[in-house]
């Protein structure tokens, strides 16, 4: 019996190692037949000896045909997106910003490929994969562990004799190689199924299939590009990537340490051409500061890390014929003209439509009926009309005219003052505006009510069941079952989503209301400042404008929204339905240790980033300031504090403390005991 267990363990180890050499190193040492024979032997031994079952065995990558739903998981660390640039000049600006922020401290940049797939975060415990979660909204994602286990370039069990941390997280991109994509689309075309638009959509759709056997069949690939954890082997990004490669992860060969802006420019020039020879889709490059300590000190904006940036390759351009222009009504009433094009292949996808945005763009481009239009993919994602081939214009063709009345409800359009947009003013009776608000309200970043997409939103409105967002909470199983093509399972899914939406936090409720100009970030600022819906509804333009990042335009829009009786009525109905109409902050995380104190942060820190220290200051009653004055209570100083600030602090007699002293203050609860340092 012990001999059988030993043989099984040896086969598993050998197959894992050969899997690594084949899928990660692209350097197999045994033939496919030898690999298959060993796999068959292992499968037979495991079947005959079920007591030695191991979910991490290489035989377990085939997947299961059991249908399941995906549970949402909160990321331990948010998965933020990167700021985009489209020129070498903008990358140079990023380089100089980093240089200025770090002072005289030398730094390196790591250049990488920006793969065009779907982001994933994978957790490992004691060398074994325990969980794989999609990016989702950056804060929460879907647990797709079973599906990720089928991807052969992602290790289930790390290679033996490697010194990896007990617990860590890797992030990367799951991709569908071009060959697999083309083969899959040929198969779908033969079966008269809709074709995938591009490998990115195909990969994302495959990863969310509820049948992991089908996921395994589609042969997804992956590149891993970031290591996170508390006990990383190295203090820099590049060496951690090389360690990941040794452990068994597939890391791009394009990764390179760059020591100057000249190195960065050469890296861009090289990959702008060579990327077209890669087996997977790419849409740019990524540049990251190498030092993890410097990354920490550079910190984050509300949406992006300051220590990394994405460079998007110049868009490809094609010329195709304009077949017609349609006019679509958005949820805020804005009319958007859309060019319907003769299909054209662009950056690996078929383009049939492209937004013309507004009347001014149509006029400036001087678009006529039947024109041949130049189309680009902005960042190789969004199709964009960039010009007209005048030489191929049809003689006597008429210029495209913008509509004067709403194409949906017939209302006379009005021009927004100071803007290019034409708007349908019929906000409460125009079908696309109502269904658009319903679709936005139930969306994942808002109330996250699963089962209501564009088609169902239109169906609910057309049936008379939902005429505004508050009507959603009057739905029940029987009402939903009265709709065409609705079964008990789909109806119950919607009802479950409605019940769960009552726990959605206040800031997302604000975002879900479709107040013009109030996006996710603004909604969070408003929720933090106002604390509850009644305070928000009673505020005037001046009070709202005093909130950070809330300008007069946004403030005016909020006041106008709540001035409409129908909107206030909807708010009351949502309140009565049990939605969160106030913040639920944990008071135990707040203190008044720094109450009344104004603090300036300067230098580079080891324990927290500047942004984190700003939050700590605010959470404990203090106020952050960017400049030193007689009102400054003290300066929180890290390494390389600016000499000008130091000189001014000394002249004004401002107390200077380091981060250890500051953290001691926070922990002790006494703000006036720190000694001055020089």
Cβ contacts of 439-446, under 8 Å, gap ≥ 24: 439/331, 440/331, 440/512, 440/514, 441/469, 441/472, 441/512, 441/513, 441/514, 442/472, 442/497, 442/501, 443/512, 444/136, 444/137, 445/137, 445/508, 445/511, 445/520, 446/504, 446/508, 446/511, 446/512
- Best CA proximity match to 163, nearest among 121, 126, 123, 122: 126
Judge whether residue 42 has pLDDT over 90. Answer: no
pLDDT at 379: 46
The helices-and-strands tally (H runs, E runs) of the chain is 24, 22
Could you tell me the pLDDT band of residue 674, with boundaries at 50, 70 and 90? Answer: very low
pLDDT at 389: 95
- Sequence-distant (6+) residues with CB within 8 A of 643 are none
Quote the CA–CA distance of 480 and 476 in Å, as a whole number: 6
> What is the b/e burial string over 109-138, where b = at least 16 CB atoms within 10 angstroms of the residue's CB?
bbbbbbbbbbbbbbbbeebebeebbbbbbe
Judge whether residue 380 has pLDDT over 70. Answer: no
User: Tell me, which fold does domain 84-312 have in CATH?
Assistant: D-amino Acid Aminotransferase; Chain A, domain 1 (3.30.470)
pLDDT at 69: 62
Decide the pairing of beta strands 634-637 and 598-602. Answer: parallel
pLDDT at 22: 62
Judge whether residue 122 has pLDDT over 70. Answer: yes
pLDDT at 671: 55
Average pLDDT over residues 629-653: 85
- DSSP letter for each residue of 392-455: GPPTTPPBP---SB-TTT-PBPEEPTTSS-EE---TTT-HHHHHHHHHHHTSTTTT--TT--HH
> What is the b/e burial string over 580-592, where b = at least 16 CB atoms within 10 angstroms of the residue's CB?
bbbeeeeeeeeee
pLDDT at 28: 66
- DSSP letter for each residue of 537-554: HH--HHHHHTSTT--HHH
Could you tell me the pLDDT band of residue 50, with boundaries at 50, 70 and 90? Answer: confident
Three-state DSSP string of 500-522: HHCCCCHHHHHHHCCCCCCCHHH
Highest mean pLDDT among 11-20, 26-35, 43-52, 83-92: 83-92
Count of positions (residues) in the chain = 678
Judge whether residue 655 has pLDDT over 60. Answer: yes
pLDDT at 2: 74
The percentage of residues in the chain with a pLDDT greater than 70, rounded to a whole number, is: 92
Could you tell me the pLDDT band of residue 348, with boundaries at 50, 70 and 90? Answer: low
- Sequence-distant (6+) residues with CB within 8 A of 560 are none
Helices 32-48 and 2-23 sit at what angle, rounded to 10 degrees? 150
Could you tell me the pLDDT band of residue 569, with boundaries at 50, 70 and 90? Answer: very high
Six token digits for residue 379: 């960042």
Q: What is the pLDDT of residues 83-95, one digit of tens each?
A: 888 889 999 999 9
Could you tell me the pLDDT band of residue 521, with boundaries at 50, 70 and 90? Answer: confident
- Best CA proximity match to 305, nearest among 601, 84, 618, 19: 84
Q: Which residues pair with 381 in a beta bridge?
A: none
pLDDT at 566: 93
Judge whether residue 408 has pLDDT over 90. Answer: yes
More confident residue, 201 or 23: 201
pLDDT at 193: 64
pLDDT at 381: 58
Quote the CA–CA distance of 85 and 94 in Å, as a whole number: 9
Quote the CA–CA distance of 74 and 143 in Å, as a whole number: 10
Quote the CA–CA distance of 247 and 237 in Å, as a whole number: 15
- Please give the CATH superfamily to which domain 588-668 belongs: BRCT domain (3.40.50.10190)
Judge whether residue 669 has pLDDT over 70. Answer: no
pLDDT at 479: 95
Asked whether 321 and 372 are in contact (CB, 8 A), the reply is yes
Judge whether residue 159 has pLDDT over 60. Answer: yes
Judge whether residue 584 has pLDDT over 80. Answer: no
Task: Write down the CATH number for the domain with range 2-62.
Answer: 1.10.287.610
Quote the CA–CA distance of 371 and 505 in Å, as a whole number: 49
Quote the CA–CA distance of 437 and 450 in Å, as a whole number: 16
Asked whether 307 and 110 are in contact (CB, 8 A), the reply is no
CATH of 317-407, one of 2.40.50.140, 2.40.110.10, 3.40.50.920, 3.40.1500.10: 2.40.50.140
Q: What is the pLDDT of residues 460-515, one digit of tens each?
A: 999 999 999 999 999 999 999 999 989 999 999 999 999 999 999 999 999 999 99
pLDDT at 558: 96
More confident residue, 50 or 143: 143
- Best CA proximity match to 156, nearest among 203, 117, 134, 123: 123
Neighbours of 50 (CB within 10 A): 7
Q: Which residues pair with 344 in a beta bridge?
A: 351
Judge whether residue 677 has pLDDT over 60. Answer: no
390 burial (CB, 10 Å; 0-12 / 13-18 / 19+) is: exposed
Q: Is 354 helix (H, G, I), strand (E, B) or coil?
A: strand
Judge whether residue 25 has pLDDT over 50. Answer: yes
To which residue do tokens 């009653």 refer?
Answer: 621
Average pLDDT over residues 401-419: 91
By annotation, the residues acting in catalysis are 114
More confident residue, 587 or 456: 456
pLDDT at 191: 63
Q: What are phi and psi of 419, to 5 degrees?
A: -130, 170
Quote the CA–CA distance of 356 and 358 in Å, as a whole number: 6
Domain boundaries, the chain: 2-62, 84-312, 317-407, 431-576, 588-668
Q: What is the pLDDT of residues 274-287, one digit of tens each?
A: 888 889 988 899 99
Global confidence as pTM = 0.59
Alpha carbon of 257 to those of 88, 101, 251, 287, 289: distances in Å?
18, 20, 14, 10, 10
Alpha carbon of 603 to those of 102, 383, 625: distances in Å?
8, 43, 14
pLDDT at 676: 39
Average pLDDT over residues 146-165: 91
Quote the CA–CA distance of 298 and 237 in Å, as a whole number: 15
* Mean pLDDT estimate for the chain: 87
Q: What are phi and psi of 80, to 5 degrees?
A: -80, 155
CATH architecture observed for domain 431-576: Orthogonal Bundle (1.10)
Quote the CA–CA distance of 235 and 324 in Å, as a whole number: 57
Average pLDDT over residues 558-577: 96
């Amino acid at each position: 019996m012990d001999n059988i267990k030993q043989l099984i363990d040896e086969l598993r180890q050998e197959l894992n190692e050969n899997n690594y050499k084949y899928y990660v190193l692209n350097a197999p040492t045994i033939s496919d037949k030898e690999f298959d024979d060993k796999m068959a032997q292992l499968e037979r031994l495991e079947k005959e000896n079920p007591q030695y079952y191991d979910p991490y065995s290489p035989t377990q990558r085939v997947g299961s045909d059991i249908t399941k739903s995906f549970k949402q998981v909160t990321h331990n660390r948010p998965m933020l997106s990167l700021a985009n640039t489209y020129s070498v000049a903008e990358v140079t600006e990023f380089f100089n910003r980093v240089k200025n922020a770090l002072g005289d401290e030398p730094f390196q940049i790591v250049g990488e490929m920006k793969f065009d797939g779907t982001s994933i975060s994978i957790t490992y415990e004691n060398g074994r994969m325990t969980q794989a979660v999609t990016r989702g909204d950056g804060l929460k994602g879907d647990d797709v562990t079973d599906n990720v286990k089928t991807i052969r370039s992602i290790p289930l069990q790390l290679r033996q004799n490697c010194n990896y941390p007990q617990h860590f997280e890797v992030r990367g991109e799951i991709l569908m190689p071009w060959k697999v994509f083309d083969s899959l689309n040929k198969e779908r075309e033969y079966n008269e199924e809709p074709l995938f638009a591009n490998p990115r959509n195909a990969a994302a759709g495959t990863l969310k299939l509820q049948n992991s056997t089908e996921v395994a069949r589609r042969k997804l690939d992956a590149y891993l590009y970031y290591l996170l954890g508390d006990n990383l082997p190295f203090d820099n990004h590049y060496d951690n990537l090389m360690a990941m490669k040794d452990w068994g992860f597939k890391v791009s060969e394009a990764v390179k340490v760059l020591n100057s802006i000249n190195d960065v420019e050469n890296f861009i020039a090289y990959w702008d051409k060579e990327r077209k020879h890669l087996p997977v889709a790419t849409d740019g490059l990524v540049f990251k500061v190498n030092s993890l300590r410097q990354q920490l000190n550079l910190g984050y904006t509300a949406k992006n890390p300051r220590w990394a940036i994405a460079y998007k390759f110049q868009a490809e351009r094609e010329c195709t014929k304009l077949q017609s222009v349609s006019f679509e009504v958005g949820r805020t009433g804005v009319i958007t003209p859309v060019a319907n094009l003769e299909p054209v292949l662009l950056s690996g996808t078929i383009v049939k439509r492209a937004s013309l945005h507004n009347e001014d763009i149509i006029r400036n481009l001087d678009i006529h009926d039947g024109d041949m239009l130049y189309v680009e993919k902005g960042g190789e994602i969004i199709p964009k009309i960039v010009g007209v081939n005048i030489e191929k214009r049809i003689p006597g063709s008429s210029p495209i005219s913008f509509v004067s009345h709403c194409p949906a409800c017939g209302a006379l359009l009005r021009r927004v003052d100071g803007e290019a947009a034409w708007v349908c003013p019929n906000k409460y009776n125009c079908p696309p505006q109502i269904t658009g608000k319903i679709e936005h309200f139930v969306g994942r970043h808002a109330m996250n009510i699963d089962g209501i997409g564009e088609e169902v939103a239109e169906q609910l409105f057309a049936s008379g069941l939902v005429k505004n967002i508050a009507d959603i909470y009057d739905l029940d199983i029987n009402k939903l079952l009265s709709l065409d093509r609705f079964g008990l399972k789909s109806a119950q899914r919607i009802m479950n989503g409605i019940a769960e939406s009552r726990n959605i936090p206040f800031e997302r409720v604000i975002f879900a209301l479709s107040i013009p100009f109030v996006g996710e970030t603004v909604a969070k600022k408003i929720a933090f400042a106002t604390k509850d819906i009644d305070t928000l509804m009673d505020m005037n333009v001046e009070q709202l404008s005093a909130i950070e990042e809330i300008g007069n335009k946004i403030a005016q829009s909020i006041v106008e929204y709540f001035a409409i009786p129908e909107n206030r009525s909807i708010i009351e109905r949502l309140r009565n339905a049990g939605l969160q109409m106030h913040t639920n902050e944990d008071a135990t995380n707040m203190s008044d240790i720094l109450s009344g104190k104004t603090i300036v942060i300067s230098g580079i820190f080891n324990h927290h980033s500047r942004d984190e220290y700003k939050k700590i200051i605010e959470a404990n009653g203090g106020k952050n300031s960017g400049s030193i004055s007689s009102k400054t209570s003290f300066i929180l100083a890290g390494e390389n504090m600016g000499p000008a600030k130091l000189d001014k602090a000394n002249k004004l007699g401002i107390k200077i403390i380091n981060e250890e002293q500051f953290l001691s203050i926070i922990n002790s609860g006494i703000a006036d005991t720190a000694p001055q340092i020089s």
